[in-house]
Amino acid sequence: MSLNNTSHASSTQGLSVHSRGTRTISITSGKGGVGKTSLVANIALTLGREGQRVLILDGDLGMANVDIMFGVRPEKTILDVVHGEAGVRDILIDVAPNVTLIPGGSGIFDLQNLNMFEKQNLLDQVSSLGTGYDLMIVDTAPGIADNVLYLNAAAQEINVVVTPDPASIADSYALIKVLHQRYRENRFSIICNQVKDETEGLRLFERLNDVSARFLNVGLDYKGSVPMDLNLRQATKSQQLVMRSHPETAAATAMRRIAHKFRFYADSESPKGSLQFFWEQLVGVA
């Protein structure tokens, strides 16, 4: 499969306007290797197939690879926008029906270093995208680096991917703790990945929820679990999407359930704004 930037023009002409605006969610993790980007790509593909218009922002500085999962290679990234060499619309790539990618990578880190003129120019361009997208999913890098924190803090909903690995549990707690202490984030959604079954996933969630409630006084929501699945591992290893290669496997079925929850998420409970608010927070003008 190969799509390029020129394909975007035709797809944006029919964007419908939604009064509620574009909801923004981050999918993040305390450590790498937890299957975060595979979740992002497969969930986005599922939502697109269900008629949701999805933007993906690849916010992983060192391992920007959402494009690889969809079999595309961007000619330009948000770094070109930061340097004034392209507009936001110039870098958009249609990666699947109803799914559009904003290639990010290292350019994400430069967004807060723009001068006021550059910041306003970027915000004007983002505004021109309108409210035709239902959801923007932000794939962050793992860990607690500054760029990870401000991407998460700008989103309406923060989803932390955790596995049964003790290091993943400890690092997930650390990420939640830092976001709570520095950015006053009080609600997080948890996706348990690479578990044996739903029972282990629920047990993992309860373990993290108990310690977070006890020591941080934050609320965690259980988004769902994705079981260990050989087909998923093979698909990810070969840089493919399990929703395409093995759509009826246990992992694919679980990710469809999680995607359904994203679709019907009650964003009215969030005190944050939508897409424009996200970008204003990101460049530091809100």
DSSP track, the chain: ----GGGHHHHHTTPPP-TT--EEEEEEESSSSSSHHHHHHHHHHHHHHTT--EEEEEE-SS---HHHHTT---S--HHHHHTTSS-HHHH-EEEETTEEEE--GGGGGGGGG--HHHHHHHHHHHHTTTT--SEEEEEEPSSS-HHHHHHHHHSSEEEEEE-SSHHHHHHHHHHHHHHHHHH---EEEEEEEEESSHHHHHHHHHHHHHHHHHHT--EEEEEEEEE--HHHHHHHHTT--HHHH-TTSHHHHHHHHHHHHHHT--GGG-SS--HHHHHHHHHT--
* Confidence at residue 189, expressed as pLDDT on a 0 to 100 scale: 97
- Would residue 253 count as lying in a domain? yes
**Whether residue 11 has pLDDT greater than 80:** no
Give the residue numbers spanning the domain of 64: 16-283
**Whether residue 63 has pLDDT greater than 70:** no
| Position with higher pLDDT, 130 vs 102 | 102
- Would residue 6 count as lying in a domain? no
pTM beyond 0.95, yes or no: no
- Would residue 10 count as lying in a domain? no
- Would residue 89 count as lying in a domain? yes
Q: What is the mean pLDDT of the chain?
A: 86
* Confidence at residue 120, expressed as pLDDT on a 0 to 100 scale: 81
**Whether residue 8 has pLDDT greater than 70:** no
The total number of structural domains that make up the chain: 1
The CATH number of whichever domain residue 248 belongs to comes to 3.40.50.300
- Would residue 122 count as lying in a domain? yes
Mean pLDDT of 9-24: 48
- Would residue 114 count as lying in a domain? yes
- Would residue 3 count as lying in a domain? no
**Whether residue 267 has pLDDT greater than 60:** no
* Confidence at residue 156, expressed as pLDDT on a 0 to 100 scale: 93
List pLDDT tens digits, range 183-227: 999 999 999 999 999 999 999 999 999 999 999 989 999 999 999
- Would residue 136 count as lying in a domain? yes
